[in-house]
Structure 1
Amino acid sequence: MDNVRTVSDTKRNFYTHHTRPINSIYRRVVEELMVEMHLLSVNVNFNYDPVYALGVVTSFDRFMLGYKPEQDKESIFNALCRSVEGDPGQYRHDAEQLKGLAERLSVDQLVSWNTALGSVDGGQMLYDCFKAIAFNPNFKYSRLFAIGLYTLLEGADPDLVNNEEQRNSTLQTIGESLKLPVEKMKQDLALYQENLEKMEQAKSVLEDVLSSDRKQRQQRLLEKTKPQEQEEQQPTDSASEEKDSADS
């Protein structure tokens, strides 16, 4: 019997691929996402699919927006996928494919996926994904899948996702056709939006703190250099006084 990979194993695997420290509030984001992906990856009913990949990529990109140094983000994302024995290239590729497809689709086509997607250029991948889910009684639903589905709707009609009534009605219809736990999905997406807002607030507070810290350091440096400037000025003043005395 194979040993099931533990959370500690996954974290250790992550930090072998990304060796640099992760900054402040973003560390919690990365570790929570890592644990969520880990728990799914060791579940016997879980299967990777493109909508899940879109949810992972969207979550990472939105919560890590503004991370510095910018060049570390790719390393962190790659380590995140590899920590659960996934392929970061596949995650990115599948997510980009679906995002591009969503921009060419209408919400009605997404809702009527079982009859509409087959005739859309590039729609076969999503059709196959949805069909496999709808006919799988053991499909492992996840919050990240819900975020992927939400991102598809957002790409098809950005205004719809901002209208709570229309958004929930559409999620209800799609969720029922895919046999998803609709109420759970709505709650997960509401929490996702709430956490995005909290992250923005936290980053704003952090930036204020960093800005205040920079100003204090500059002020201390200025106060430290003032006595030195005065000391350097004194010999010049004394020399001037001696010259004036000699001239007298």
Structure 2
Amino acid sequence: MVIHCMSTSTDVPPTVAETKLNFLKAYKRPIPSIYNTVLQELIVQQHLMKYKKTYRYDPVFGLGFVTVYDQLMEGYPSDEDREAIFQAYIKALEEDPEKYRIDAKTLEEWARTQTPSSLVDFSSREGEIEGTLKDIAERAASGDFSYSRFFAVGLFRLLELSNTSEPTVLEKLCSALNIDKRSVDRDLDVYRGLLSKLVQARELQKEYVDREKKKQEERAESQKATETVAKCLGEPQFVRQ
């Protein structure tokens, strides 16, 4: 007799489709395609990160995502909608958007007070952020850390805010955190490429909007001129479509 064991766990993660649906339910207004296309790609990537067995949120990851999101949504028509989309996005992943914002702000403020040497030597100092970095280093050393692209961007943001320009500092920081620098370099290249494409897309969109606006103005002027001529000639003010 063969006995088949069945899992009784009910902790089944949602599917990607369910996460995307939760986002659409939380934010029902249309999002311009220039933003929505990238948002949909990001939410799929982050869903896959979130539901890995080794995933554990940390403030550097949070800072990285907030940085990516704010760069992505720069120039969005409405500040209120931009924040509403952020809230809907994070909640769709069953996480706390306020925690992301608070952690990002805390890390940014901390990084502004750091020097390249103090940033790298976090393990020898005490403090809330230093403790977070030590925990990451310990988990990475034991193989219990889930590295991600957002984490790489978070590291880059720390260096940026501490006015660090020496490439060797990133290498030393990665070493102190037990993170593979090659992965960080690769993901930062992807991040820079994404930003470059977004800038180009925004420029093209602006050119399109400007052209359409000019065409509308020209049509309005042409119609006004036609109506003026018709009035002078005593003809009915009728504009043929």
TM-score w.r.t. the length of structure 1 is: 0.86
The root-mean-square deviation of aligned C-alpha atoms, in Å, is 1.5
Partners of 2:198 and 2:44 lie apart in 1 by: 19
Give the 5 Å matches for 1:1-248: 1=9, 2-116=11-125, 118=126, 124-136=127-139, 137-157=143-163, 160=165, 166-167=166-167, 169-235=168-234
Partners of 1:126 and 1:83 lie apart in 2 by: 27
Displacement of 1:225 after TM fit? 2.7
Displacement of 1:125 after TM fit? 2.3
SS at match of 1:27: helix
Partners of 2:189 and 2:119 lie apart in 1 by: 21
Q: Write the deviation string for residues 144-197 of structure 1: whole angstroms up to 9, x where unpaired.
A: 011011101100016x1xxxxx22x22211112211121011111122112212
Displacement of 1:222 after TM fit? 2.0
Partners of 1:4 and 1:86 lie apart in 2 by: 13
Q: Which amino acid aligns with 1:130?
A: L
Task: Choose 222-231 or 194-203, whichever is displaced more.
Answer: 222-231
Partners of 2:30 and 2:136 lie apart in 1 by: 38
Partners of 1:228 and 1:212 lie apart in 2 by: 24
Q: Write the deviation string for residues 19-51 of structure 1: whole angstroms up to 9, x where unpaired.
A: 111112111221122112211111110001111
Q: Which amino acid aligns with 1:192?
A: Y
State the structure with more CA Rg: 1
Q: Which amino acid aligns with 2:214?
A: K
Q: Write the deviation string for residues 105-137 of structure 1: whole angstroms up to 9, x where unpaired.
A: 111111111013x1xxxxx22212111111112
Partners of 1:146 and 1:21 lie apart in 2 by: 31
Task: Choose 62-71 or 134-143, whichever is displaced more.
Answer: 62-71
Q: Which amino acid aligns with 1:79?
A: A
> How many residues were matched structurally?
223
Instruction: Write out the 4+ residue segments of structure 1 that deviate beyond 4 Å after TM superposition.
Output: none
Displacement of 1:235 after TM fit? 2.9
Structure 1 unmatched ranges of 5 or more: 119-123, 161-165, 237-248
Q: Which amino acid aligns with 1:76?
A: I
Identity %: 32
Partners of 1:112 and 1:33 lie apart in 2 by: 32
Partners of 2:130 and 2:49 lie apart in 1 by: 23
Partners of 1:20 and 1:195 lie apart in 2 by: 24
Q: Which amino acid aligns with 2:128?
A: M
SS at match of 1:35: helix
Displacement of 1:14 after TM fit? 0.5
